[in-house]
Amino acid sequence: MKNENANSRRKFLQQIGATSLLASTSSIATLGVSAKAEERILTYEKKITSNDKIRIGVIGYGVQGHFDLRTALKVPGVELAGICDLYNGRLENAKEQFGKELFTTNNYKDLLDRKDIDAVLICTTDVWHARITLDALAKGKHVYCEKPMVYKISEGYPVMEAAKKSGKVLQVGSQRVSSIGYAKAKELVAAGEIGELNMVNAVYDRQSSIGAWEYTIPKDASALTTNWDKFIEATEKMAFDAKKFFWWRAFKEVGTGVAGDLFIHLLSGTHFMTNSKGPESIYSTGQFSYWKDGRNLPDVMSGVLQYPKNKDHAAFLMTLQVNFISGTGGQEIIRLIGSEGVIEVSGNNITLKHSLMPEAPGFGGYDSLFTFSKSMQEEMQKDYDAKWTPDQRRRKVKEDIIFKAPVGYDDHLDHFTNFFDSIRTGKPVVEDAEFGFRAAAPALSCNESFLSKKIIQWDPVKMKLK
């Protein structure tokens, strides 16, 4: 039965790159997504020995901490060794889920001191990411750090250096970088299927209170139950504010707003698909449209980023959009627009539509030709007909390409599998510290541009502000 299941899964994965491409050219049909996906699944099927077991600690057991732990434990050989959170109620919740014997603490350094913990998942407020990452690497732990990797651009350099020197695996948590749908889009762009890339439109809209981070605040929230004094060790001193603890993304003192939460998904995905090192100029603006709940970072925000030409792509313009009160009901879409078509990425599914210009230039119709004298029109028509054949005047047609990920496919699980495989085998992760910083820096610059009302200049090669 086990072999039958394995064969069935292999066959299914092969269909990812074959039948799921409803229309394709021969060059695209040979691209290797199915093989890569199969390799990841076959990793699950390997027998896990005691030497392969990875014991993890979770630092920050809020919404994302719950999701990350749930997914991490789906990877064979991964075991939970401890949880840290500042809110006492979440530690109680952890023991209810995993048993009273589970090690829990309010101090993340207690987890780092444990010799039975191999890796930590850092799922805290943004302002703590760099500090905990540096401490974890110094203690010899592998690190999975939620995005954005850093709260300030200046924090990125010591984190990258520490990751390099430590010899440990550091993966940043933008799961779309591990998506088989994004991998297919990357291959299509590289194969020239949309011609020369010139623009990217990226949108991540929502329309709900929870989507706008208005999470339920527990009735017992207080400076004592949330260890508030510990919480603000990474910030300027502030009086207790339950919103800043539980709705922290909305406040610049501890979070990075829509830029750090959602722009960064769009940026990391686009960088992966285009092989881009980042933009050279960044401008962003925003407003407070609906969720006027004390937040000091916008609920509607847009960015315009200019990417320079490099060896992998032409110069292109990127627009970013987040709308927390969108009448669309919410959407996440990236459109990669080239001279010969557009790739629309929606979740893990992609659609490529071609639009090719004719070889011959335009002539007649909505043109200045009809404004000339009749004799001139006739003379020029004769010249045009002699120079261009009917075939050269027609738009060429190429079939559309549609790629659909398998039902139940989970890029979050793929991202964690990549992380744990890297720990076991030493192979590179898909989103290391440098990749994470290249996405974080433009996202954080969007906030700086909004707050300062200035265009931010960035050197994408040296990774420094100009």
- Spatial separation of the C-alpha atoms in residues 416 and 370, rounded to whole Å: 63
What is the pairing mode between strands 456-459 and 300-307? unpaired
The answer to whether 133 touches 170, Cβ cutoff 8 Å, is yes
DSSP state string for 321-332: EEETB-TT--EE
Q: Does residue 95 surpass a pLDDT of 60?
A: yes
Compute the average pLDDT of residues 194-212. Answer: 98
Residue 22: predicted pLDDT: 39
CA–CA separation, 386 and 382 (whole Å) = 6
Sign of CA dihedral 312, 313, 319, 323: negative
pLDDT band at 46, cuts 50/70/90? Answer: low
pLDDT (tens digit, 9 = 90+) per residue, 274-329? 999 999 999 999 999 999 999 999 999 999 999 999 999 999 999 999 999 999 99
Using CA atoms, how far apart are residues 257 and 263, in angstroms rounded to an integer? Answer: 9
> pLDDT class for 14, splitting at 50, 70, 90?
very low
pLDDT of residue 191 exceeding 70:
yes
Tokens of 193: 């299927």
Residue linked to tokens 């979070």: 255
Q: Is residue 30 scored above 50 in pLDDT?
A: no
What lies within 8 Å, CB to CB, of 374 at 6+ separation is none
| Res 34: pLDDT | 55
Rounded to 10 deg, the angle between the 129-138 and 156-166 helix axes is: 20
Coil/strand/helix, residue 402: strand
Provide the percentage of residues in the chain whose pLDDT is more than 90.
Answer: 88
Q: What band does 48 get if pLDDT is binned at 50, 70 and 90? A: confident
- What is residue 23's predicted lDDT score, i.e. its pLDDT? 36
Averaged confidence pLDDT in the chain: 92
pLDDT digits over 422-448, tens only?
Answer: 999 999 999 999 999 999 999 999 999
What band does 44 get if pLDDT is binned at 50, 70 and 90? low
- The pLDDT value given to residue 51: 77
pLDDT tens digits, residue range 366-415?
A: 999 999 999 999 999 999 999 999 999 999 999 999 999 988 899 999 99
* pLDDT, greater one: 15 or 131: 131
pLDDT of 5 reads 47
Please, which pLDDT band fits residue 133 given cuts at 50, 70 and 90?
Answer: very high
Q: Residue 334 corresponds to which tokens in the numbers above?
A: 């990236």
CA–CA separation, 229 and 411 (whole Å): 37
d(CA 293, CA 169): 39
Nearest to 341 by CA among 39, 23, 110: 23
Q: Give the tens place of pLDDT for each residue, 338-362.
A: 999 999 999 999 999 999 999 999 9
CA distances from 12 to 7, 220, 412, 461 (A): 9, 49, 20, 40
